[in-house]
């Protein structure tokens, strides 16, 4: 298996889940400016300081529940989440399909 290119910011060891890494690569390749919805898991309950730091990246914060929040932003905004020490995991928000018999 080939190692990722050195210029690839989405290494397997980063904080982004696989679906988000795939989506970001796709958007970057196509130079798309699409807004993504992501779930952010933090190391502790999200404080006012953490919320401010998240907002300073350009993210729009939705719901905050303990140490998890819903957010949205473009690829450039989402890339900045890797630098925040308190961010543990960033996952692509996916709409669930409900089964109706």
Listed in sequence order, the DSSP H helices in the chain are 18-29, 48-56, 75-79
**For residue 55, what pLDDT is reported?**
95
Whether 36 and 78 have beta carbons less than 8 Å apart is answered as: yes
Task: Output the pLDDT for position 29.
Answer: 87
- The pTM assigned to this predicted structure is 0.79
Using DSSP's 3-state secondary structure scheme, residue 65 falls into: strand
- Structure tokens belonging to residue 100: 């109706």
48 token code pair = 């006012």
- Report the chain (101 residues): mean pLDDT per 10 consecutive residues: 48 79 89 90 97 95 96 91 93 77 66
What pLDDT does 14 receive?
A: 82
With a CB cutoff of 8 Å and minimum separation 6, the contacts of 12 are 4
Domains and CATH numbers, the chain: 34-92 (3.30.70.80)
Q: What is the pLDDT of residue 2?
A: 45
């Amino acid at each position: 298996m080939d190692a990722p290119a050195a210029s690839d910011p989405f290494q397997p060891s980063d904080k982004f889940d696989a679906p988000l890494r795939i989506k970001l690569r796709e958007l970057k390749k196509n130079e798309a400016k699409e807004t993504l919805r992501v779930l952010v898991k933090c190391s502790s309950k999200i404080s006012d300081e953490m919320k401010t730091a998240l907002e300073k990246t350009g993210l729009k914060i939705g719901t905050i529940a303990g140490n998890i929040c819903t957010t949205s932003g473009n690829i450039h905004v989402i890339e900045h989440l890797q630098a925040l020490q308190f961010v543990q995991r960033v996952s692509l928000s996916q709409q669930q399909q409900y089964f109706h018999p």
